[in-house]
Amino acid sequence: MNDLTTIKPKAYSYIRFSTPEQERGDSLRRQTEAAVRYAALHRLDLDDKLTFRDLGVSAFTGANEETGRLGEFLEAVHHGDIQRGSYLLVESLDRLSRQKPRRAVKVLERICEAGITVVTLDDGREYTEETLDEDPLALMVALLVASRAHEESAKKGRRVGAAWANKRDKAKADNKPLTALCPGWLRLNADRSGFDVIPERADIVRRIFTQTLDGIGQHGIAQRLNREGVPVFGRGQMWQRSYINKMLADHAVIGNFTPHRAERINGKKVRIPTDIIEGYFPAIIEREAFERVTSMIRARPTSTRAPVANILAGLARCPLCDTTMTRVNKGSGTKQGKPYLVCSRAKVGAGCDYKQVRMENVEHAIVHHVEELLGGLPSPTEGLQAKWEELIVHHDVILEEIERLVEAVARAGHSKALLDRLRKMEHERDEITKRLEGVEGLIADSLTNRVQNTVRELVGKAQDEERDAAKINGTMRQLFSKVVVDYRDGQLWFHWKHAEREQTGIVYGTPQEA
């Protein structure tokens, strides 16, 4: 039986704050240092690679649990990546949740029931499944903290809402900017009293409206701008039809601005438009021209066909330029219309080769060869193996040092310094031997992990006779950072998330078929 007593319990820190301003302040440093200090005092092995941080994420809405790193922590515990008996270090319970008290305590219970000890660093209190069951005071403290935290957040929300309402009213009355945010053809002026037009960008906007009135389509306008090398606004790499469409519908070109207020409806954050502020921005397009373009867009027929899901949506990448590949229909509107994948950059004339890859071939390969991904999984024990190799190297160094000391003692005779050093090395050798045995035991027990479970889930969804392409795509996004559709050799290259060895190839067809 392996002796695991020398292996320290694992600890993970969870750090959260809700606003970017707190990151620039003291919140991040304070929470980080508190976790390090607690782990050192209580002989915990604080994992410095798997730290869970929700920086600028709200716990009042539960976003940190639903889509944030706290949700990732819970998933890692569920799939066995984080072992039972581990510790989760948080500054206080309100870092986990600021939802209504009943919901907040459920978050704590869910973590503890998974075999995790939650430590609140501000008071040193430990919460486990046992303490929540047996100690009424622990549950009462959790409820009181949750109640106070929720009320503080609710009060802050009301104050912020009232402040923004006041700001909107003032902006409407005084025509002063609410924020520095503005369209790409404007900038906030030096004294922050209004917005200045960026002449070269305003000319591009006017050109887009003129070409639209001349009957040129949005895709054609984007292609022309890309071919001429016209700089895009913001961080985009090329002009897209969707951005042209958004610009043509933006009332900011005639100077109007519609502030929004945020509300939560059925648990979701919804932006509700308020009264329009006319003249908020400098107008760069005549109202008549804007209304003519609006009428033209509304008069165009819209497709009634239901969108077809793409199992590689958001994942497919071009093998030449690594840009996303988008789905297009060749022969759209006919019974023979076939969906293809093409490079987004090539599609809008921004360079790269325009190569069509038949979607049918790609989907067939994924559905019928998905089990092959199990053979290309990143090793579930990769981290443990690295630790084992590190200990082996250390063990060998210690043995060499012991041999050297034994020879030195033999030559020098009785030497207290040498004997003390020898005893210390022998003790360290014994400690490393025990740690090696413990790691070897953990490796032997590590039969599965979250990635393996998710791949099996993907296999099941792909092989289901009534398979849902959207669900397959959602599962694939959990596993892969991208899938390169290499039409040069007819293979798909799957890049695993969080793995050093990223690629697994699956043949989808020959370049001729594609």
- pLDDT at position 263 is 62
- What pLDDT digit, counting tens, does each position of 291-320 carry? 888 888 776 655 444 444 678 888 899 999
Residue pair 109/116 in contact by the 8 Å Cβ criterion: no
pLDDT attached to residue 384: 59
Residues of the chain with pLDDT under 50: 1-5, 18-25, 56-68, 303-308, 332-335, 444-448, 511-514
300-to-181, 210, 224, 241, 294 alpha-carbon distances in Å: 32, 18, 22, 15, 10
CB contact at 8 A, 471 and 460 = no
What is the model's pLDDT at position 30?
78
Q: How far is CA 434 from CA 388, 403, 441, in A?
A: 12, 20, 11
* DSSP for 251-307, written as a single string: GGGGT-B--EEEEEETTEEEEEE---BTTSS---S-HHHHHHHHHHHHHS----SPP
Q: 323 in helix, strand or coil? A: coil
What does the pLDDT read at residue 92?
Answer: 79
pLDDT number for residue 210 = 92
The CA R_g of the chain, rounded to the nearest whole Å, is: 30
Q: Whole-number mean pLDDT of the chain?
A: 76
* Spatial contact of 79 and 450, defined as CB atoms under 8 Å apart: yes
pLDDT of residue 18: 47
Nearest to 118 by CA among 86, 157, 75, 152: 86
Please report, in angstroms and rounded to a whole number, the separation of the first and last CA atoms in the chain.
57
Class of domain 186-299: alpha beta
Topology of the domain comprising 10-152: Rossmann fold (3.40.50)
Instruction: Give the single-character DSSP code of 116.
Output: P
